[in-house]
A and B are shown apart, each in its own frame.
Chain A
Amino acid sequence: MIVRREIEERTGRNISIGAVYATLERLETKGYVSSFTGEPTPERGGRAKRLFRVEAAGTRALQVSEKTIRSMMAGSKSRWESV
């Protein structure tokens, strides 16, 4: 829930909880995040919460992505400025 809200607040886009879980599961398969199950609570209809943690491989992949995006943005910016 927190992940979905965080994405929604930062991007301004209304995303589905199913999309969040589907993505997190793909990331977990790749070893970028790990998850564990919390205790069931009455507020959640007696259903357990799933908590995620970013792994070292995930942090590295994120750094590479950030570097790639920055590099591409720098290239795009120089093109916009020259137009």
Chain B
Amino acid sequence: MRRNSPPAVACWFLDSVVPVRYRDALLGDLIEEYTLRAESTSPLTASRWFWSQACRSVASVFWSSLRSGDWLISMSIAMCVYIAMGMLKFAADVTISKLLAPEQTTYVVLAPVVFLTTTAIGGWVASRIRRGATIFLALIVMITVAVLIDMRVCAIPVPWWYQFGFLTLGPLAVLMAPVIVGAFVPGDAQPAK
């Protein structure tokens, strides 16, 4: 991290949730004030201030989106992407079962790979359509996995950490996929909305 550069994770967090209409202005204001504060106090104090602003701003922005109905659009996109992800996963499962005829152990190994791949693709697609949709998609994935774990849908006996991996890595794959793709593919960092 460069000296006097704001926390990258906080920047990415804001970049993901703030509406495109005032994303640049809001982040620019924070970066500008962060630099001034880092020079007048210390980078650590300025970083703490930046994080506090980021967390509190997200609450305001989220509440404002709820009032304006923006969340409905994001939620609808997330639902559509989730359905598409479900179909993709189903197609992958069928292909694997036909081609490999997996036994239980093979399935236990392949299931997380298929799951994480589809969730990552879903996260990337959602972020390309609308950034706010990524957060909703991550929430949908987390809730669905939690419900499936609670209902004990999986017939194969698996350890708790295996299920916990689905619960945590699934939403994380949704959120991180756009960032990772953006870092490796030039011109992918700034989606349309």
Contact = CB atoms under 8 A, between A and B. Distances in A.
A22 B61 contact: yes
Interface residues of A, number: 20
A80 to B, nearest CB: 34
Contacts of B32: 1, 43-44
B64 A47 contact: no
B58 A18 contact: yes
Interface string B28-68: 11111101000000000000000001001111110110000
B57 A19 contact: yes
Contact of A4 (B18, B29, B58, B61): B29
A48 interface: yes
A77 B48 CA distance: 42
Contacts of A43: 31-32, 35
A50 interface: yes
B30 A17 contact: yes
B28 A19 contact: no
Given A18-B18, A18-B61, A47 B25 contact: yes
B25 A19 contact: no
Interface string A14-33: 00111101100110000000
Contacts of B28: 40-41, 44-45, 47-49
Interface string B13-27: 000001001101111
A33 to B, nearest CB: 13
Contact of A22 (B29, B35, B60): B60
B31 A19 contact: no
A67 to B, nearest CB: 27
A22 B64 contact: yes
A16 B54 CA distance: 8
Interface of B: 6, 18, 21-22, 24-33, 35, 53, 56-61, 63-64
Interface of A: 1, 4, 16-19, 21-22, 25-26, 37, 40-41, 43-45, 47-50
Given A19-B60, A41-B28, A47-B25, 20 more contacts: A1-B29, A1-B32, A16-B60, A17-B26, A17-B53, A18-B57, A19-B57, A21-B25, A21-B60, A21-B61, A22-B61, A25-B64, A37-B25, A40-B24, A43-B35, A44-B29, A44-B31, A47-B27, A48-B24, A50-B25
